[in-house]
């Protein structure tokens, strides 16, 4: 009887191995390459390129999200092979040994914001619990921890509430102390509701946010020319933003969650583009965070 169980277990183990091998082989020979992204200002050149049809003859297909945590869910489920995000999204993956940045996009310089219905000085002396809305398991969590540490707020009582950006914008303002961790294009909505900025990636001294295109390197091997073409398309779209910003805005505004033209243009001044050239300091920072940069296109 024990021998029969052992044989059955071996057969099941072999079948499982075959199925896993079949899954990954199918995944690796896919003709299209799916990438998840969101309407962050630095990623809008991909939106523009998509709307203009510039991606139609490439293998790249973009899936547009709101919740940052969906990047990992889609990748783990095999629906996508890469994503645009910050290094912190990647670091929150349970396993990311195959994920590499293919090209850098921007450095946040004020577009990631911590907002509150109290000033920073008022928060320092707050005795009531402070509700913090953020996307747990994402950049937001790291940003908030750095904000607390840098401003010596460890003794305050914070109640962390996991929420997508969409859900945050539906929270009714109240007199209770509240913090929202957000980024463009959603920041505009919170400012309209009366929240004020108490910190951003421009004011923070100990926190730097880099956006990049991260890909499973198994979908880069042998396809390097495709990614060079994608980078060229990205640069072409960015050139259009600089040449004719109003036309650019009109093309992408449906993705911008109600941002006005002026609000969008203001957000473009709150990032530093990194899509061309070599950035040794930033590459060193990424390696310090255990993110390999050997796949970066320049």
Instruction: Tell me the per-residue pLDDT of 204-255, one tens digit each, with 9 for 90 and over.
Output: 999 999 999 999 999 999 999 999 999 999 999 999 999 999 999 999 999 9
Do 272 and 55 contact (CB within 8 A), yes or no? no
Q: What is the dihedral of CA 137, 230, 183, 73, to 10 degrees?
A: -20
Please state which of the four CATH numbers 3.40.605.10, 3.20.20.80, 3.90.1150.10, 3.40.190.10 is assigned to the domain occupying 112-200: 3.40.190.10
Please return the burial class of 95, using the count of CB atoms within 10 Å of its CB with bins 0-12, 13-18 and 19+.
exposed
9 pLDDT above the threshold of 70: no
pTM of the shown model: 0.84
pLDDT at 20 over 90: no
- Supply φ then ψ for residue 19, to 5 degrees: -65, -45
User: In angstroms, rounded to a whole number, what is the distance separating the alpha carbons of residues 238 and 225?
Assistant: 20
Residue 16 confidence (pLDDT): 52
* Higher-confidence position of 170 and 245: 245
Q: What is the mean pLDDT of residues 15-25?
A: 48
Phi, psi of 272 (to 5 degrees): -120, 115
How do strand 210-216 and strand 82-86 relate by DSSP bridges? antiparallel
Answer whether 8-110+208-288 and 112-200 agree in fold.
Answer: yes
- CATH class name, domain 8-110+208-288: alpha beta
User: Average pLDDT for residues 181-194, to the nearest whole number?
Assistant: 91
Sign of CA dihedral 80, 24, 73, 219: negative
Sheet holding 99-108, edge to edge: 60-64, 33-37, 82-86, 210-216, 99-108, 271-273
**pLDDT of 275 above 50:** yes
Residue spans per domain, the chain? 8-110+208-288, 112-200
Task: For residue 180, give the nearest of 109, 255, 130 by alpha carbon.
Answer: 130
């Amino acid at each position: 009887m024990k021998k029969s169980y052992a044989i059955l277990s071996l057969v099941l183990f072999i079948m499982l191995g075959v199925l896993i091998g079949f899954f990954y082989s199918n995944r690796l020979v896919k003709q299209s390459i799916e990438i998840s992204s969101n309407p962050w200002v630095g990623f809008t050149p991909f939106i523009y390129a998509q709307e203009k049809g510039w991606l139609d003859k490439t293998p790249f297909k973009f899936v547009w999200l709101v919740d940052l945590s969906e990047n990992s869910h889609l990748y783990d489920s095999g629906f996508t092979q890469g994503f645009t995000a910050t290094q912190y999204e990647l670091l929150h993956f349970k396993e990311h040994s195959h994920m590499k940045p293919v090209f850098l996009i921007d450095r946040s310089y004020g577009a990631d914001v911590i907002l509150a219905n109290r000033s920073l000085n008022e928060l320092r002396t707050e005795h009531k619990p402070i509700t913090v809305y953020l996307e747990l398991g994402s950049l937001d969590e790291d940003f908030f921890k750095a904000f607390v540490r840098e401003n010596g707020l460890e003794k305050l009582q914070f109640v962390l509430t996991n929420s997508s950006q969409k859900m945050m914008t539906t929270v009714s303002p109240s007199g209770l102390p509240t913090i929202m961790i957000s980024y463009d294009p959603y920041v505009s909505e919170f400012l309209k509701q009366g929240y004020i900025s108490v910190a951003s990636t421009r004011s923070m001294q100990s926190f730097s946010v880099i956006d990049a295109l991260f890909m499973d390197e198994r979908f880069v091997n042998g396809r390097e020319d495709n990614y060079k073409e994608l980078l060229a398309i990205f640069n072409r779209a960015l050139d259009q933003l600089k040449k004719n910003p109003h036309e650019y805005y009109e093309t992408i505004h449906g993705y911008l969650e109600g941002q006005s033209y002026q609000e969008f243009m203001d957000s473009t001044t709150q990032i530093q583009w990194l899509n061309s050239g070599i950035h040794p300091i930033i590459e060193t920072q990424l390696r310090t965070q255990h993110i390999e940069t050997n796949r970066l296109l320049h």
